[in-house]
Amino acid sequence: MPVSKPLNDWQCRRARRTLLQGGVIAYPTEAVWGLGCDPWDVLAVERILELKQRPMEKGMILVAASVEQVRFLLDPLPADLQQTALSHWPGPVTCLLPDVNEQIPEWVRGRHSSIAVRVSDHPVVRSLCEAAGMPLVSTSCNPAGRQPARHSWQVRRYFGDQLDWIVPGELGGNRKPSRIIDIVTGQQLR
């Protein structure tokens, strides 16, 4: 299986410009293609929800390049919960973190009091988050009820020219989307 490489300088500049201008992108992740945008841009998030035919109430995942990008969510938590989250990152594990100070907008958090966060070790995902200077929305690239895209041709079939950019790269080696663990209860939700 080909190994994905970090984005080059030109691709990083394009990613930053696209994301900061409210764009929606598709990009390879550890297991499936994802859709992403600036989580604080309500119009961009609404576009993703519309593309996916997904209700806002379900919430979405934030993906980050480093722990430092989500430090603002970790710092208000007790040390033992911080350590639990840190023990899973970087990697293909999404942790449900209590959003103690409601720092994540409801259009990303949904009806939940926690936020799903992953610090990725995938080179393209890391490049995108570093280029944008923030964590990004990350949700599987598929309309509701359809299989997540595992190839760029599926991304084009699902969404065609409705996306602002399909980021080049390869999927990571995982066969299934990231595990989701509630760090408060220890329950594995996916």
Whether residue 127 is contained in a domain is answered as yes
DSSP per residue, 113-157: SEEEEEE---HHHHHHHHHHTS-EEEEESS-TTSPPP-SHHHHHH
Tens-digit pLDDT profile for residues 33-45: 999 999 999 999 9
What is the pLDDT at residue 2? Answer: 60
Does residue 80 form part of some domain? yes
Tell me if 90 is assigned to some domain. Answer: yes
**Residue 175 neighbours by CB under 8 Å, 6+ apart:** 31
Q: Give the list of residues 6+ apart from residue 183 with CB closer than 8 angstroms, or none.
A: 81, 84, 85, 95, 96, 97
Say what the pTM is. 0.94
Distance separating alpha carbons of residues 179 and 188, to the nearest angstrom: 7
Does residue 3 form part of some domain? no
Strand ranges of the sheet holding 93-98, from the earlier edge strand across to the other edge? 165-166, 25-28, 33-36, 136-140, 61-64, 114-119, 93-98, 179-182
State the residue range of the domain holding 134: 9-182
Q: Is 134 domain-assigned?
A: yes
Number of domains within the chain = 1
Determine, yes or no, domain membership for 188: no
Q: What is the mean pLDDT of residues 32-60?
A: 97
% of the chain surpassing 70 pLDDT: 98
Report if residue 187 sits inside a domain.
no
64 is a domain residue: yes
pLDDT in tens, 96-148: 999 988 999 999 999 999 999 999 999 999 999 999 999 999 999 999 999 99
Q: What is the CATH classification number for the domain harbouring 40? A: 3.90.870.10
149 alpha carbon, distance to own chain's centre = 15
